[in-house]
Structure 1
Amino acid sequence: MFSAPVVIAAAICALIVIYFLPRLDAVARKVYSRYRRRKRDERQERERLERLERRTSQQ
């Protein structure tokens, strides 16, 4: 079996992780939403340029 100090240290680490999980989740969601927004903006800009290019090539 594990010795008492190891079990106590593991329990404290687990409590710390549980305490910070909501904050880590909020940060991760914010970072991911920024990433998705940037990718969406890049895609929209690319599509806009393609439409503009098609429009000018048809004339």
Structure 2
Amino acid sequence: MKVSCFKCQHFRVTWDQNNPRGCAAYQFKSKQLPSIIVKQSSGMDCMQFSPKQTQEDRR
């Protein structure tokens, strides 16, 4: 399964212009999507991926 940060509850958009994308689970910010950084660093897909709840899930 390919991890999509945009669909993960841990993904954050930051105010930092140099590092606009962040991951709350791994506690870092970067220019690239966090899932790409994790894959490059560990060779594995992100193990912290957790799908965002949709409005339907909240009901």
Measured against the shorter chain, the TM-score band is: under 0.3
**Larger helix share, 1 or 2:** 1
TM-score by length of 2: 0.24
**Larger strand share, 1 or 2:** 2
Higher RCO (CA-CA < 8 Å; seq separation 6+): 2
